[in-house]
A = this chain, B = another copy of it.
């Protein structure tokens, strides 16, 4: 491959103008790059183009970088076809949720040194170009996973795309990436789904006792079963290995509960508590001890705004928010997560504005 400066100057070709592809296209247009659009469905190209995401690719175009953003099961073939057709300096990346399988699909390809897979940790349960946004990737992690044959220049170009889209490049090998997302995404999703499955068909009486905990645990299980079966199924090796580990822990839990082994149960729960503290904090800093400030908020329009205005005036930064809904009175419990050292300060400030807080 000819020497390049590593600077992303365009044109960038997007293959697959769905949610992710069109969002990348919009981010590139936002930065002033020329964007070429390709899709098996000409209507999608027309729609994306109409949104300002670029123009249809013509045979004479020579992209600097091609982003393959097709559905999981079509990925290997689409990357291969793109490498087949690519010019001698064109770099190719993809944005699929697993990285080892696409790399294996192009192993031995003469142009494999110009392929660097990647994976933006972003997206919604929506799909299609109409759901796209140039800001979809702002502040998100975006894994960059060069295989052993990839040139450093190709990897740098893909990282440049990541930065242009406002995301944070996270370099990983393809296999490491797949193990990572098994742990941080696929297995949590599956386990949430198994727990949620115990609720389907439960009696209304039982479900009446639902609180914040079960809502949090099962929320992600609301996602599209077809899409996630493709994603999780495409990472079968890493997922199966980790599920087997979880099953061993589940066996220990069943033993501890059935055998009235309180110490064993406490030990399992303590390990889980340690795990929650391992998740990175805001902006990649070490996790800080957080505390939830609980406030009763009447369910009238404007009350949440008033709460946040008062909280904002206190100067204490709100890291996260949860609103709990339960049958009965139209009063919700809002939980504001703040750095523990400032929790009392926020409570006092809110109480001075007439809010009811709970210690």
Contact = CB atoms under 8 A, between A and B. Distances in A.
B206 A179 contact: yes
Contacts of A199: 183-184, 275-276, 278-279
A247 B249 contact: no
A74 interface: no
Nearest to A171: B205
A4 to B, nearest CB: 25
A170 B205 contact: yes
A206 B182 CA distance: 9
B249 A197 contact: yes
A217 B216 contact: yes
A333 interface: yes
A250 B240 contact: no
B172 A205 contact: yes
Contacts of A179: 206
A107 interface: no
Q: Which of A126, A172, A229 has the most B CB atoms < 10 Å from its CB?
A: A229
Contact of A266 (B184, B207, B229, B308): B229
B184 A206 contact: yes
A239 to B, nearest CB: 5
A202 B278 contact: yes
Given A197-B275, A246-B195, A272-B218, A206 B185 contact: no
Interface string A240-282: 1011111101110110011010100111111111111111111
Given A305-B312, A322-B320, A195 B206 contact: no
Nearest to A248: B194
A329 B194 contact: no
Tally of this chain's copies: 2
A149 interface: no
A167 interface: yes
B214 A279 contact: yes
Contact of A195 (B191, B197, B240): B191
Contacts of A190: 253, 268-269
Interface string A190-222: 111111111111101111111111111111111
A77 interface: no
B208 A192 contact: no
Interface string A280-316: 1111100000001010100101101111110111010
A202 B187 CA distance: 14
Given A167-B328, A188-B214, A222-B273, 6 more contacts: A121-B326, A133-B358, A139-B333, A172-B205, A188-B217, A223-B269
13 contacts: A133-B357, A177-B209, A180-B208, A180-B209, A184-B211, A185-B211, A207-B278, A221-B276, A232-B269, A240-B257, A282-B325, A305-B308, A308-B309
List 6 A-B pairs, minimum CB-CB distance, nearest first.
A284-B327, A193-B272, A168-B328, A196-B275, A305-B312, A225-B269
